[in-house]
Chain A
Amino acid sequence: MSAINKHGRKRGDARGERIDVRKTYKLYIGGAFPRSESGHSYAVADRTGTFVANAALASRKDARDAVLAARKAFGGWSGRTAYNRGQVLYRIAEVMEDRRPQFVQAVVQSEGVSVDAAEGVVDEAVDRLVWYAGWADKVAQVVGGANPVAGPFFNLSSPEPTGVVAVLAPQESSLLGLVSAVAPVVVTGNTAVVVSSYERPLPAVTFAEVLATSDVPAGVVNILTGSAATIGPWLAAHMDVNAIDLVGVAGDAALATDLEVAAADNLKRVRRAPATEPDWSADPGLEPMTAFLEVKTVWHPIGV
C-alpha cells in the first residue's frame, strides 16, 4: 500500500515502488532560472508546518540583476503592439489553465485551503489574466483621448508605461494576489521585478515556469523568492526602478513608510501598502493599471 505524499504523488517504499523526482525551486531572472547568487535558500513548509522544499533566498545582487533584466526587456516589450501584448497575456492564461491541477495543488499546499477553494482561486487567477489580456488594447481608449483645446491644435493624450516596476507581491494570496499584482503592470508595457510571498513562494515559481513557456519575452517578468523586508529596500532605493507596488508589506506601516521614503529619491510612482491585504476576488477596476502609466499629450498645429 502506498500513501499520498505532500507532493500529491504516491510515496515510494521498500517494496520497489517508484521514488518521485522533486523539483528545485529557483529564481526567474531574464528568462532563466538561476539559484540565488548568494547561495542561500530557506525551508518552505505547508500550512501544517511540514517541510515542502527549499526556496532560493534572493539577495540584493539578485534584485539588481533582475532590475537589469527588466530594464533590458522594457524597450522591446513596451514597443510591442498592444494587440500583441494582449495575445501574450491570453497565452499565459491558456498555459496556466492547462496546468490547473498543478496550481490547485500548489495553492492547497501554500495557503492551506480546501481543494474546492483552491480550484476557485486558480479559476479566478486564470480569469484575471484573461480580463487583463483584454485591457491591453483598450486601456488607452478608456483613459486617453482627444482634448478640445481652445485653439487650432490637435491635442491627444495617450497613456504610456512608466518603465521598470518593482512588485512586492502579497504575502497571503500566493497565486491570485500575485497574478493580480503582476498582470496590470505588464499588460500596459511595463516590465516587472517581483518579490514573492516569503512564506508562500512556491506558486510564484510555478507561475514563472508558465511565463517561461508562454511567449513572454525574457526579462518582462522577473520573480524573486525571499523576503520583501530584505529585498524591498534595495528595490525601493534603486535608481533604475520607476515605480513600486507595496501591497506585499500590507499591514506593516513602518516598513511601508520607509520604502516610500526610499522611493522618493527618484520619485518612483508608489502604489501604497493597504492596512490589510485586499479582497483579491473583487473587481480590480482600472487603478492597478493607471498607477503605473504616464500620460503623454501631443500637440500639433492645424493649418495650411
Chain B
Amino acid sequence: MPDIFEYAPAPESRGIVDIKPSYGLFIGGDFVEGHGTSFKTVNPATEEVLAEVAEADAADVDAAVAAARAAYDSVWSRMPGRERAKYLFRIARILQERGRELAVLESIDNGKPIKESRDVDVPTAAAHFFYYAGWADKLEHAGLGRRQDGSVPRPLGVAGQVIPWNFPLLMLAWKIAPALACGNTVVLKPAETTPLTALLFAEICQQADLPPGVVNIVTGAGATGQALVAHPDVDKVAFTGSTEVGKAIARAVAGTSKKVTLELGGKAANIVFDDAPIDQAVEGVVNGIFFNQGHVCCAGSRLLVQESVAEEFLARLKRRMGTLRVGDPLDKNTDIGAINSAEQLAKIRELSAIGEAEGAGRWSPACDLPATGYWFPPTIFTGVSQAHRIAREEIFGPVLSVLTFRTPAEAVEKANNTPFGLSAGVWTEKGSRILFMADRLRAGVVWANTFNKFDPASPFGGYQESGYGREGGRHGLEGYLR
C-alpha cells in the first residue's frame, strides 16, 4: 500500500503577524526596557532568530510587583465585579478577533502545528477569559462559603505567575483570567523560549484599555521566575511547569503566607480494555501522546493495553502512526510540529536512548525530518516494564511507552504506580467499568473514551507530585480568593 497520500503543502501565511526586532517588559501599562541580559527567541522549526527579548532582573520584577500592587490598591480591588467582568469580556473578544494572528505567532514561536494553535490553543484561551469574565460578579455563588468573620471571599492581592512553553497563550489565559476575575492583579512570566504571544497579549490589554498595572508581563528565564516567586509583596504564586521546579517553589514559599497552586508533570496511563472500540481507541492514544509533540503535562505517555488485544492494537497503532505528518508547523496538514527547543530535544533523545539501553523495543515510522530545526519522530517503546525509566519519568515528547495488563485490578495497580497523578484515560464500552476505574485512579482528570479534552468550565490539576490546586471551572476560583 502507498504509505501516505501526497498532499501539496498548505502553509498558513506569516504575513498576518508583525514580529518586532526587540521587545521590552510590560510594566504599569507600558513597554519598558529590561535591565537583565536580553535573550533571543527562535523559531524551533527553522532555528531562525525571531526577536531579541528583554530579561527582567530583580529590580524589574520589583517594579512590576509595585505596579501590580498600585493597580490593586487604587483601581482593581475597588472596582465592582461587573465592571471588572467587562474588561475580561473585552479581552476575550479581542483574542477572538485577533485569533489567527495569535495562532500563527504561537506556531512560529513554539513549533506546534497551526491546526492545533488555531483550533485549540487560541479559541480555548478566548473561551477561558469569556468564562471567568462571567464569574467576576458572581463570586458569592461560587460555593466557597463564608470566612470565619462572616465575610465573603476576597481577592488575595498580587499574583506572581510563571508559565511553561508548551501552551504559551493558553497557560497565560488559565493564569490571568481567574486571577483578574477574582479581583487580583498579576505579574506573569512567560517561558524564555516562547515569550511572543504573551507580549502580544500585553498589546491586547492596551487595546482593551485595561487599567495600567493590572497585568504586567516580565520576560526572562529561571532567575526572573525565582525573583518573582520569592518577592515579599507577592500574595499568590501560580506555577505550571516541571515537578522539580514546583518543589523548589514549595520550598521557597515555606514560612510565608503566600497562597500557592502548582500544575506540574505527569505520566498518565491510557488504559485500553479488550472491549474498547479499537479504531477509536487508536485515535485516542495517538492524540493522547502525539498532540502538541507530546509536550503536554497530561499526555497519555504510558499505554496500558489489555494483553488479549495488545498485538492487534499495536499493529493498528503503528499503521496509524505511519500516516502522521511531521514537519512545517505552519502547514495546515501537519500533525506533529517541531520540538520546542534544542534543550528539550536533547532530553527526549537521552531518555529514548536509555529506553533502548534498558531493553525496550523502539519503533518509529519512516519519516523525513527537516534538516534544520528541532525534530523528533513519533516513537513507541514496546516491552516496557514498570521499572524502566521511560515508564517512570516524564519525557515530554512524542514518545509512548507500551505496557500490558490482564485484569482491571492490575491496570489500576500499574496506572497508579507513579509519583505523579495528573490524568488518566480509560477505553472500554462498559460504563460501569469506566466508573470503577475512575474511582480507583489517583489522578485529577480521568478521560473515558476520549483524551486531552479541555474546557474553561472543567477543573484541571493533579494528585501527588503533579501539583496541587485546580485551574478551570468553579474550582479554579479557589486559588485566587481567601
Asked if A and B are interacting partners, one says: yes
Size bracket, chain B contacts: 20 to 34
Question: A137 contacts B141, CB within 8 Å?
Answer: no
Find B85's partner among A86, A134, A302, A304 (CB 8 Å cutoff): A134
Residues of B within 8 A of A42 (CB): none
Find B134's partner among A86, A300, A304 (CB 8 Å cutoff): A86
Give a binary string over B375-408; 1 marks a CB under 8 Å from any A CB, 0 the rest.
Answer: 0000000000000000000000000000000001
Q: In the complex the two chains form, what is the Cα distance from A70 to B457 in whole Å?
A: 28
Question: A302 contacts B474, CB within 8 Å?
Answer: no
Which residues of chain A from 283 to 304 have any CB-CB distance to chain B below 8 Å in the complex?
A: 286, 300-304
Residues of A within 8 A of B420 (CB): none
Question: A134 contacts B134, CB within 8 Å?
Answer: yes
Question: A138 contacts B474, CB within 8 Å?
Answer: yes
Residues of B within 8 A of A83 (CB): 127, 130-131, 456-457
Question: B435 contacts A131, CB within 8 Å?
Answer: no
Residues of A within 8 A of B133 (CB): 134
Q: In the complex the two chains form, what is the Cα distance from A46 to B457 in whole Å?
A: 46
Question: A300 contacts B130, CB within 8 Å?
Answer: no
Nearest CB on A from B429, distance (A): 13
Q: In the complex the two chains form, what is the Cα distance from A304 to B130 in whole Å?
A: 40
Nearest CB on A from B182, distance (A): 14
Q: Confirm or deny: B174 has a beta carbon within 8 angstroms of a beta carbon on chain A.
A: no
Find A304's partner among B142, B432, B457 (CB 8 Å cutoff): B432
Nearest CB on B from A249, distance (A): 30
Q: In the complex the two chains form, what is the Cα distance from A154 to B436 in whole Å?
A: 10
The residue of chain A having its C-beta at the shortest distance from the C-beta of B142 within the complex is A142
Nearest CB on A from B315, distance (A): 27
Residues of B within 8 A of A74 (CB): none
Q: Confirm or deny: B138 has a beta carbon within 8 angstroms of a beta carbon on chain A.
A: yes
Q: Confirm or deny: B439 has a beta carbon within 8 angstroms of a beta carbon on chain A.
A: yes
Q: In the complex the two chains form, what is the Cα distance from A15 to B262 in whole Å?
A: 75
Residues of B within 8 A of A86 (CB): 130, 134
Q: Confirm or deny: B15 has a beta carbon within 8 angstroms of a beta carbon on chain A.
A: no
Q: In the complex the two chains form, what is the Cα distance from A182 to B433 in whole Å?
A: 43
Given A86-B130, A130-B86, A138-B474, answer yes or no on A300-B435 (Cβ-Cβ < 8 Å): yes
Give a binary string over A131-148; 1 marks a CB under 8 Å from any B CB, 0 the rest.
Answer: 101111110011000000
Given A137-B457, A141-B457, answer yes or no on A304-B138 (Cβ-Cβ < 8 Å): no
Q: In the complex the two chains form, what is the Cα distance from A301 to B432 in whole Å?
A: 5
Q: Confirm or deny: B135 has a beta carbon within 8 angstroms of a beta carbon on chain A.
A: yes
Q: Confirm or deny: B82 has a beta carbon within 8 angstroms of a beta carbon on chain A.
A: yes
Q: In the complex the two chains form, what is the Cα distance from A121 to B153 in whole Å?
A: 30
Q: In the complex the two chains form, what is the Cα distance from A291 to B431 in whole Å?
A: 33
Given A142-B143, A303-B433, A304-B433, answer yes or no on A133-B474 (Cβ-Cβ < 8 Å): no
Give a binary string over B130-154; 1 marks a CB under 8 Å from any A CB, 0 the rest.
Answer: 1101111110011100000000000
Q: In the complex the two chains form, what is the Cα distance from A83 to B128 in whole Å?
A: 10
Question: A134 contacts B435, CB within 8 Å?
Answer: no
Could you list 25 examples of A-B contacts with CB < 8 Å?
A82-B457, A83-B130, A83-B456, A130-B86, A131-B82, A131-B138, A134-B133, A134-B138, A135-B138, A137-B134, A137-B457, A138-B134, A138-B135, A138-B141, A138-B457, A141-B457, A141-B474, A142-B141, A142-B143, A142-B474, A300-B431, A302-B436, A302-B439, A303-B433, A303-B436
Other 4 A-B pairs with CB < 8 A, given A130-B89, A137-B131:
A134-B134, A138-B131, A142-B474, A303-B435
**Which residues of A does B touch, CB under 8 Å?**
82-83, 86-87, 90, 127, 130-131, 133-138, 141-142, 154, 286, 300-304
